[in-house]
Amino acid sequence: MRKNQYIIIHSDFEQLIDTKNKGQSWHSIEVFSDTPYNTSITIDVSISDIAESPSVLTVVNPTEFFVNKFRGRFLKLKINCTGNAKITKIKINLKVLLWTDFLPEVYSANNDFLSRFLYIFSKIYSDTEYKIDNMNRNFNCKTADFETVKALSKWLGEDYSESFGDDYFRWWVNNFRRINNLSGTYGIISEIINKYTDSHYKIIEFNNIKNELKNPELSELYKNLFSDDPYTFTVLINFKADKIFYKNLYNLIMKIKPAHMNLKFIILKEETALDRHSYLGINTFLK
């Protein structure tokens, strides 16, 4: 069975497709790209029964173009992107169902103009049909484009911040229900910190230090470092970014902590001369 379509994701600068069919006919190529202002994408197309052949067509910043006048087993694309321009997907159509195929032969035979004219409307129809059939993708954070994810987040009362990073924010919105179900637990707080940053951290709860608080020699020290309040927990995190980054992390933890608990959020110094908050392997290293 012959393929009627090839899809290239995250295309390289050179692509070669071998259909295994000598004299293969082609129809059109669709290009999905991101071309900011003052950037461009140039594609040289070669179609021949020989793998290495000269270019037969050159297009600049294309969205869709026809290659139905050419025949050949091999199709080769040479892509040149300037600036930050990038191609996300290329769809190569070998054969499409034309509306002229439904007309009497007198209209469909040797009538290239009518075929191309009706293709405009058939393309609009097929694109609309595809969007309707795949509407559910817009409500899936793993497949929706990022602008849609940001729109979906507003339904949840979440605002996007660039310091989050696109991947993290997509993960947050996708797991919003689970995060709320586990809200306030040690596990979900740890998961969010791990997802948000690779900085070393430590979560200290009252149960972790209650024995030290009973020790007369240590109680005052631990009370000052952390707290003797059973409804207070402390997050210690190593310094690795700017203040806005940690402010956003603080706000995230505040959203999911238990309502009756208090949070002490302590950013450890990048370097310290063994002050009160010094932890071997986190912000203290032996040399």
Encode pLDDT of 53-107 as tens digits: 888 899 999 988 989 889 999 999 999 888 888 888 888 888 777 787 787 877 7
pLDDT of 267: 85
pTM for the full model? 0.51
Domains within the chain, CATH numbers bracketed: 1-96 (2.60.120.260), 183-287 (3.30.300)
Residue with tokens 């293969």: 24
Q: Sign of dihedral through CA atoms 147, 148, 154, 159?
A: negative
Residue closest to 263 by CA, chosen among 225, 219, 223, 231: 231
Please give the share of the chain, as a percent, with pLDDT higher than 70.
88
Ordered alpha helix ranges (H), the chain: 105-108, 112-133, 146-155, 166-174, 176-181, 186-196, 206-214, 219-225, 243-256
Give CA–CA dist 4/27, Å, rounded: 10
Residue closest to 76 by CA, chosen among 96, 57, 60, 103: 57
Encode pLDDT of 113-170 as tens digits: 887 888 888 888 888 887 888 788 777 777 787 888 888 788 777 776 666 677 778 8
Q: What are phi and psi of 55, to 5 degrees?
A: -65, 140
Encode pLDDT of 19-66 as tens digits: 888 989 888 898 988 888 889 999 999 999 988 888 889 999 998 898
Tokens describing residue 115 = 């075929």
